Amino acid sequence: MTSIRSSMVTRLNPTTLLPGILGGFSLWISLAGSLVDPLGVSRTASAEDRINVVWIIADDLGPELGCYGYPSVQTPNIDRLAHEGRRYTHAFATAPVCSSSRTAFQTGHYQTTVGGHHHITRDKQPLPDGITTVTQQMQKAGYFVCNGSGKADDKKFAKSHLNFQYKPQTFFDGVDWSQRTSGQPFFAQVQIKEPHRTFVHRDHEYANVPIPPYYPDHPITRADWGNYLASIEVLDRKVGAVLKRLDDEGLTDNTLVIFTGDHGRPHVRAKQWLYEGGLHVPLILRWPGRIAAKEVSDDLVSLLDLMPTTLTAAGADVPELPGINLLDPDTSGHDVLFAARDRCGDAIDRIRSARTKNFKYIRNFHPELPYMQHSGYKRLQYPVDTLMRVLHQRGEFDSPFMADRRPAEELYDLRTDPHEQHNLADDPRYATQLIRLRQSVDQWIVRTDDQGRFDESVNVDMDALMKEKRRWYEQSLRKRGLDPGLSDEEFLQWWDEYLHAEPSK
């Protein structure tokens, strides 16, 4: 990644100014209490006037929003946020699953660097020496740091889901910003569950909306996709409530709002995969008077950029990080973005990727594994997983994703193949791009000290873990009244009945 272009707010030291301003004491008084913000605008450093920061984090969200041009889904509140600020079209997570991605953007470092790469890491360790978090840095700067749903009457911490040792009671100062002392600036992380599965049940059909072409266009696919869109509309209403609260409390003009998803959408070949569906997230920044309304940026940006951007806006110290300050007017994004996927539940894996504006390179460290290896979570939650298996068995659907093995390398030209369906790794016409991105991943693994190279079984009883996951999977099926030994055809029938049942009142 490119280096940080703007890292720290410049503070003026009155002792160095005094000799030159003996005739202007009042000017000295003014300067002594001021700082220069990241956009070059002088503002007071008093606690009452310092900027507040609110992160609104949706769980499992792709860019299927009105402001991103997606039809039929109704997202007026998120659209308003984009209308009043800056929308990024090329924003990406560093991992396609929640705990790993959240570990990264809370520390500002890749999850593979800090040992948080396996989803819900079993061998959780303290953060390595020298690694801090965005919450710690904001606390040091005098901010009240909280984590909730954005409701003033919250009593419990919202989802944090981090793959290192920490105590929520010290990681956060409270649940809601209403708990801060009078005049104290706050950094609020607002966690919204939607559109994480289980989805809400749609109350109408989303006819003719575009779905990714690597799915079978089938009533079950469209019903599941419709529930996803309905869940996004629930998310939008919750975002609207947070924005209204900021308005009602008179905080809007002095608050930087950052809205994003923790990783991509919760669907087959998306969540838990390094394709665009698993990594591409919406990202919107609103800061009245500092970020112009209706801005759209095509820069390649990362969720790792949230920490340096937040710290710089707050005037907090910014450690050395791989991310960039998105408020720096001279930044033009990253040249290359890297991402990683490791074990997710009972699906052992190691995959790395590098993405430029035009190409995506993926390295499969376990080419012997099928893409559709068993995952208890996905089998329980993704009806299209079962649909694809059944249609493939019937000879009615085929895709490289159904293969028994994977290629060791994948390369996609995103300009002509945005859905990453045509692997060009063996095409000699793309040898230059392949070699360049292969080398960039090699260098990134060394430069960032990728911990995925170590065998997890050295510290974790993998047999016990797999038995635990199997028990959970079988118990979950029995709760649905299903035999764990049911066939794919039988499970598909259950999904059909579930998805097309009338929504419960």
- Both tokens of 205, joined, read 């059909």
pLDDT for res 22? 30
Long-range contacts of 395-400 (CB under 8 A, 24+ apart): 396/216, 397/216, 399/214, 400/371
- Looking at the DSSP assignment, which residues form a beta bridge with residue 363? 352, 409
SS3 breakdown of the chain: % helix, strand, coil, rounded to 5? 35, 15, 50
| 142 Cα distance to chain centroid | 26
397-453: per-residue pLDDT in tens?
A: 999 999 999 999 999 999 999 999 999 999 999 999 999 999 999 999 999 999 999
List phi, psi (to 5°) of 465: -60, -45
pLDDT for res 48? 55
- Both tokens of 393, joined, read 């068995």
pLDDT for res 145? 98
Question: Is residue 57 a contact partner of residue 261, using CB atoms and an 8 Å limit?
Answer: yes
pLDDT for res 428? 98
pTM: 0.91
162 contacts: CB under 8 Å, gap ≥ 6: 99, 102, 103, 106, 116
Determine whether 423 is exposed, middle or buried from the number of CB atoms within 10 Å of its CB (0-12, 13-18, 19+). Answer: middle
Question: Is residue 310 a contact partner of residue 326, using CB atoms and an 8 Å limit?
Answer: no
pLDDT by position in tens, the chain (length 505): 333 333 322 222 333 233 333 333 333 323 333 344 444 333 434 555 799 999 999 999 999 999 999 999 999 999 999 999 999 999 999 999 999 999 999 999 999 999 999 999 999 999 999 999 999 999 999 999 999 999 999 999 999 999 999 999 999 999 999 999 999 999 999 999 999 999 999 999 998 899 999 999 999 999 999 999 999 999 999 999 999 999 999 999 999 999 999 999 999 999 999 999 999 999 999 999 999 999 999 999 999 999 999 999 999 999 999 999 999 999 999 999 999 999 999 999 999 999 999 999 999 999 999 999 999 999 999 999 999 999 999 999 999 999 999 999 999 999 999 999 999 999 999 999 999 999 999 999 999 999 999 999 999 999 999 999 999 999 999 999 999 999 999 999 999 999 998 765 4
pLDDT for res 495? 98
114 contacts: CB under 8 Å, gap ≥ 6: 103, 104, 107, 127, 128, 131, 163, 164, 451
Burial 178-197 (b: 16+ CB within 10 A, else e): bebeeebbbbbbbbbbbbbb
Determine whether 482 is exposed, middle or buried from the number of CB atoms within 10 Å of its CB (0-12, 13-18, 19+). Answer: middle
Q: What domains appear along the chain, each with residue ranges and CATH number?
A: 10-367+394-454 (3.40.720.10)
pLDDT for res 47? 52
Question: Is residue 191 a contact partner of residue 239, using CB atoms and an 8 Å limit?
Answer: no
pLDDT for res 502? 73
